[in-house]
Amino acid sequence: MDSAILSSYFSIGVHENHIGMTKYDSEEHPGFLSVTGEIRRWIKELKESVTPVPPLRDRLPSRGPITLNLPAINDDFIGRTSILNQIEQLMSPSDNGRHHRLGLYGLGGVG
């Protein structure tokens, strides 16, 4: 039976039908041992060949919040200092440490 054999890969024989190839009655089943042994070999090989990459937050210069893809500052922005101050005050944590929810509405793209 050669239908599932690829010449460039190590061949493992699991003498079961398609359903039996993925469902084993115990961890001692020869098919289970063959498949898990090959998976462990792949994991070991990958660990040896891959250079770990630190998380994105460790590669950025700032330890603050990660914000990507922000538009440039609009020099023509008129401001709305009093409204922004009210929003900032409303969004600040209360004395008990809880954060508030705030809904903003208006025409899209004009704020």
Q: Residue 111 pLDDT more than 60?
A: no
Q: What are the tens digits of pLDDT across the range 31-45?
A: 888 888 888 988 898
Q: What are the tens digits of pLDDT across the range 58-107?
A: 777 665 666 677 778 777 777 778 888 888 888 887 777 777 777 877 77
Q: Residue 23 pLDDT more than 60?
A: yes
Contact 62, 56 (CB under 8 A): no
